[in-house]
Structure 1
Amino acid sequence: MLEKALYGLKQAPRAWYSWSNPDQLSKFKQSMQSEFEMIDLGEMTYFLGMQIFQSKSGIFVYQEKYANEILIKFGMENCKPADTPLVSNLKLSKNDGKKRVDESMFRGLVGCLLYLTATRPDLMFVASYLSRFMSCPSESHYRAAKRVLRYVKGTSNLGIWFKRAEKLVLQGYTDSDWGGSLDDMKSTSGYVFYINEGAISWFSKKQDTVAQSTA
């Protein structure tokens, strides 16, 4: 069992119980291999569409390869980059009177953006926002989604840098708009938490009820 494989770590001296100690890693791998059928593939560089760069100063996680694949999939590989995901103060509505677009295509695009948020907190709000219109996408919704792809084009190499530090510093930020939805006047809340300036948790979602104030 995993508990048995980890028992040696719990009983080990504190000096040995350090992730920077090569002896610890070697003994841990031997313990795991004695319990499970597994092989050592070396230092992780790629996992489920995420690229991982490791150094003595920290770990950088990004999805540049996946971002470029999205651009090629939707024919936006040669588009002009945009500075922001959305046009400033853009408000979208489900019933905007515009011509409808293919639902499966729009859903696929939004789904790709949602997976890209695994290492891109800056896309969390817009991906969540566009997902509200997957059942009735119009040309205005698709145009907004293509704007996001233009932003991805210019920022495909962005990711999260987990910096090595002696002390752990936790910071969190939260905010919401006030009645931002044109369809039901509900607000959208969002938050992001950092450890040593590396984002560890982020979220954006429309509130379940109509807020009477920003408090």
Structure 2
Amino acid sequence: MKEATELIVVSVYVDDFLITGTNKELLKEFKVELLNVFEMLDLGLMSYFLGMEVKQRQHEVFICQQKYAKEILKKFHMEDCKAISTPMNQKEKFSKDDGVDKVDEGLHRSLIGCLMYLTATRPDIMHAVSLLSRFMHCASEVHFQASKRILSFGSGMFSWCSKKQEIIAQSTAEVEYAAVTTAVNQALWFRKLLTDLHME
């Protein structure tokens, strides 16, 4: 049988530390050594870090950016917006010269930047944000409204990845076969993950 290795992981951002590991006693010793060398506070279990809320329970860790999302809504005067089911209108076509009035580039860039940071916990909006970020230097009212739509997007269960297609499909049937294969692989992976978590 393979011998277990003790592990401590330290994440540093400017003057904030996150410390986790496999052994509580080892973590306590490490924190005592840090406190002897540096002037610092031990804030206990992480609950908020870099705009991310963290809720920890036994065998569970939930990360979200609800507070941050609400701050973005307030910043762009969208507190009363209604939730929608998709982050982007599927029929919407974007172009640099769409003939629509231009918007303040700084404002649009700020919105896109906020949305990019939100993708840390919401990868389901990644495609829409990535697409609209291509028009930051020539944003029109169409682009700006589409960016605001992403903020109104509700939430749900999703699986997400982004990569270039590995095959060149010769027919629509082949495209559908590739999509089904990916979906089945994901379903099998989720089933194995849930089994490992004793949630069959």
Same fold (TM over 0.5): yes
- 2:52–2:64 Cα contact (<8 Å) kept: yes
Q: Quote the Cα distance in structure 2 between the aligned partners of 1:133 and 1:119.
A: 23
- Which amino acid is the alignment partner of residue 87 of structure 2? P
* 1:84 maps onto 2:86 in alignment: yes
Q: 1:98 to 1:33 in 2, by over 3 A?
A: same
Unaligned runs of 5+ in 1: 1-12, 161-170, 178-192, 198-215
Match of 2:60 in 1: 58
Q: Quote the Cα distance in structure 2 between the aligned partners of 1:119 and 1:173.
A: 13
Match of 2:95 in 1: 93
Judging by fraction of residues, say which structure has more helix: 2
**Residues 13-36 of structure 1: per-residue CA shift (max 9 Å, x gap):** 959769454322211211222333
Q: Quote the Cα distance in structure 2 between the aligned partners of 1:32 and 1:131.
A: 42
Which of 131, 145, 148 is 2:147 aligned to? Answer: 145
Q: Quote the Cα distance in structure 2 between the aligned partners of 1:99 and 1:174.
A: 32
Q: Secondary structure at the match of 2:41?
A: coil
TM-score by length of 2: 0.67
- Relative contact order: is structure 1 or structure 2 higher (C-alpha 8 Å, sep ≥ 6)? 1
Unaligned runs of 5+ in 2: 9-20, 166-185, 195-200
* 1:43 maps onto 2:45 in alignment: yes
**Residues 7-66 of structure 1: per-residue CA shift (max 9 Å, x gap):** xxxxxx959769454322211211222333322111110011110111112211110000
Q: Quote the Cα distance in structure 2 between the aligned partners of 1:37 and 1:123.
A: 40
Q: 1:17 to 1:149 in 2, by over 3 A?
A: closer
Q: Secondary structure at the match of 2:137?
A: coil
Judging by fraction of residues, say which structure has more strand: 1
Which of 72, 75, 92 is 1:73 aligned to? Answer: 75
Percent identity over paired residues: 45
* 1:23 maps onto 2:19 in alignment: no
- Which amino acid is the alignment partner of residue 66 of structure 1? Y
Q: Quote the Cα distance in structure 2 between the aligned partners of 1:83 and 1:41.
A: 38
- Which amino acid is the alignment partner of residue 72 of structure 1? K
Alignment length (residue pairs): 156
Written as runs of structure 1 = structure 2, the 5 A alignment for 1:113-152 is 113-151=115-153
Q: 1:173 to 1:101 in 2, by over 3 A?
A: closer
Which stretches of structure 1, 4 residues or more, deviate above 2 A after TM superposition? 13-22, 31-39, 171-177, 193-197
- 2:96–2:138 Cα contact (<8 Å) kept: yes
- 1:63–1:159 Cα contact (<8 Å) kept: no
Q: 1:31 to 1:159 in 2, by over 3 A?
A: farther
Q: 1:137 to 1:32 in 2, by over 3 A?
A: same
Q: Quote the Cα distance in structure 2 between the aligned partners of 1:94 and 1:32.
A: 53
Q: Quote the Cα distance in structure 2 between the aligned partners of 1:122 and 1:73.
A: 22
- Which amino acid is the alignment partner of residue 97 of structure 2? N
- Which amino acid is the alignment partner of residue 62 of structure 2? F
Q: Secondary structure at the match of 1:99?
A: coil
